[in-house]
Structure 1
Amino acid sequence: MVTNNSLAQAIASEFSQLPQVIAVALAGSQATEVSDEFSDFDFYVYIQQEIPIDIRSEISHKFANRSEINNQFWEPGDEWIETNSGKGIDIMYRSPQWIEAQLDSVLVKHQASVGYSTCFWWNVLHSTCFYDRNDWFKQLQHKANQPYPEPLRRAIIAKNYPILRNNISSYLHQIEVAINRNDFVSVNHRIAALIASYFDIIFAINYLPSPGEKRLIQFAKQLCQKLPVNMEQNINSLICCLAYPFSDQGILCKANNLINRLEELLRAENLIGNFN
């Protein structure tokens, strides 16, 4: 029986033989031991030159009867369905210069984003490397394995906190306008954005990089020592309001409650005095 680890090694071995490849790393759920039956294999193939499409297709055919080569929807990559296990295999191609720039933006320049500010930092830290020419990826992980910069922590909060509801164009204002228009799609979209910024702040409060989009409640409960009161309950309560037909006042009330509890934590940590 082929195990997840042996499958990962076999796939990495195919790419390691190509001269364009600098490193092959496995990230996502399979690398963080929180995988389940729905978890894909997320491979990051770091390349110094493009790998020809026909070679990528040839590799996929060794493992999968069904594959999509050269998807360009997010990061450049290929997707397969592994024949024996039915597991999804996601191959993403990155240049070393690109990922180094992503780390520099947060660890050196302390630049925040609107949601998911530190997800690439998390990605590097929690990758398992299967091939590493000249120890480049080892050095990258060594750089990533550093204390959380205080300027970055404050930059993330400064970027994401005001747009929750303080600014004229805040998420809460946009949600209220969408409700008045009976625009359910916009309400859903803005709540998702609010939650992304909400978790960006929570992980920053705890000096932790953000894991990205998936299992955020699970990771926050597992890793963060400081959380807003009733975090999981308040998030679930807000999301449940999206069931059609939704309660207009219920959404606004529960969004405000979610932000109130976050503000209590921010004030306790002396992190929002400059915003009010």
Structure 2
Amino acid sequence: LAGSQTTSADTRSDIDLYVYITSEIQRDERIKVATQNAFHAEVINEYWESGDEWIDDVSGIQVDVIVRHVGWIEEQLDRVLKYHQASVGYSTCFWYNVLHSTALFDRNGWYAVLQASADQPYPPQLQATIIAKNHPILRDALSSYVHQLESAVGRGDLVSINHRAAALLASYFDILFAVNRLPHPGEKRLVEFALKHCEKLPTNMADQINALIAALPQANTNTLECANNLIDELDELLRTQGVLG
């Protein structure tokens, strides 16, 4: 069990269940489980990870079941904890997911071992690689998000502006959580999470993020100014922490 049900669940929280397998579960078995007590069910959705979803008859709560191979999740943890490999945004989400899940059934103790292996200090090398991968594309590289925002603003292209701003924020938070040596919690309530858990924050972070989002429909120089202000304060934090020259 993972997601909001293990942390700050509210009346709108789904139930996120992760099933770890060593061999494929037959389609008929997945249909049987999904439809047993549901008034609407979808089976073997492959949009992101393989999953089944249904709405519970009694409670009306949506249940999301994500099916993962044990070898795959082990590789995801090794990628960050052993090899210190970064992604463009969301680098350590699977690590956070494993750490903050509650085992409901663990036949051979495999998950307990996996979770114990994940319960370790944040590797300094991982922090460095996440910053190195995500910081240049904020505005330094030729293909940076700010440069792409400039082009999109020039075209008056609201869809592209929204897309680039979302990507900018994804890398921004990846860097911020790396600076604080915290695994990335995913895509929900990021400002709230950062304010609660990050000891090191850019000045006026929440206000600046809100200002950027509010400025997106304007598609003008104010949009770019808000993006640059956000990055300026992040850069100042990185300099004070000695991780940016």
Instruction: Specify the TM-score bucket, using the shorter chain as the normaliser.
Output: over 0.9
Do structure 1's residue 266 and structure 2's residue 241 form an aligned pair?
A: no
Q: Which runs of 5+ in 2 are unaligned?
A: none
**What's the TM-score once normalised by structure 2's chain length?**
0.98
Alignment correspondent of 2:19: 45
The aligned amino acid for 1:122 is: Y
**Deviation (angstroms), 1:256:** 0.4
In the alignment, structure 1 residue 86 sits paired with structure 2 residue 60: yes
1:165 and 2:126 aligned: no
Aligned-pair RMSD on alpha carbons? 0.8
Residue 63 of structure 1: how far off its partner (Å): 2.2
Structure 1 counterpart of 2:4, from 18, 21, 29: 29
Alpha-carbon contact 2:158-2:219 (below 8 Å) kept: no
CA deviation after TM superposition for structure 1 residue 247, in Å: 4.3
Amino acid at match of 1:233: D
Map of 1:252 onto structure 2: 224
- The residue type paired with residue 130 of structure 2 is I
Q: Does 2:170 align with 1:196?
A: yes
Q: Is 1:108 aligned to residue 82 of structure 2?
A: yes
Structure 1 runs, 4 residues or longer, greater than 6 Å off? none
Specify the alignment match of 1:10 in structure 2. none
Structure 1 residue 61, shift from structure 2 partner: 2.1
Aligned 8 A contact 2:17 2:65 in 1: yes
CA distance in 1, matches of 2:37, 2:51: 16
Counterparts of 1:41 and 1:195 in 2: how far apart (Å)? 26
Following TM superposition, by how much is the alpha carbon of 1:163 offset from its aligned partner in structure 2, in angstroms?
0.5
For these two proteins, the number of residue pairs brought into alignment is 245
Q: Which amino acid aligns with 1:255?
A: A
CA offsets per residue over residues 117-175 of structure 1, 9 Å max, x none?
00000000000100001100000000000000000001000000111001111000000
Within 2, Cα distance between the matches of 1:136 and 1:268? 42
CA distance in structure 2 between the partners assigned to 1:57 and 1:185 by the alignment: 37
State the Cα deviation string for residues 158-193 of structure 1 (Å, max 9, x = none): 000111001111000000001111111000000000
Measure the CA separation in 2 of the matches of 1:270 and 1:193.
25
1:3 match: none
**Corresponding residue number in structure 2 for 1:231:** 205
Identity %: 56
CA distance in 1 between counterparts of 2:166 and 2:238 reads 21
In the alignment, the residues of structure 2 paired with residue 82 and residue 176 of structure 1 have an alpha-carbon distance, to the nearest angstrom, of 46
**TM-score, normalised with respect to structure 1:** 0.88
